[in-house]
Amino acid sequence: MGRVRPWNYGDYENRYVNVAETLREAMTKNPSLKVFVANGYYDLATPYFATQYTFDHLGLDESLRHNISMDFYEAGHMMYIHLPSLKQLKEDLDEFVRSALP
């Protein structure tokens, strides 16, 4: 247990991690980068409204907004343990990968 606790977030101790700027930079440098966001309606760790807000305020060039796909599932944070959400997630990811291929 000593290898896990105490948990260390480094510079992010007692703060949430925000990688929005890093994602915006990556998508700007690589306009072919596609992003899939899976949201659980009952996710208390990363609420879907917060995800939508973050992506709406990403400051991403309008020409790159079509590279973001966002879907919503009747599940919490771990949508893979809710079988109907898992099935839908698989279908949505299949479609995302097919659409992202050249």
Q: Which is nearest to 72 in space by CA: 27, 46, 44, 40?
A: 40
Q: What is the pLDDT of residue 17?
A: 74
Section 19-26 average pLDDT: 94
Instruction: Give 71's strand partners.
Output: 38
Examine the pLDDT at 11 and tell me if it is beyond 90: no
The model carries a pTM of 0.80
Examine the pLDDT at 13 and tell me if it is beyond 70: no
Q: How confident is the model at residue 48 (pLDDT cuts 50, 70, 90)?
A: confident
Residues with Cβ within 8 Å of 73's Cβ and at least 6 positions away in sequence, in order, are 38, 39, 40, 41, 79, 82, 85, 88, 89
Q: Mean pLDDT over all residues of the chain?
A: 89
Domains and CATH numbers, the chain: 10-100 (3.40.50.11320)
Examine the pLDDT at 14 and tell me if it is beyond 70: no
Model confidence over 52-101: pLDDT tens digits? 999 999 999 999 999 999 999 999 889 889 999 999 999 999 999 999 88
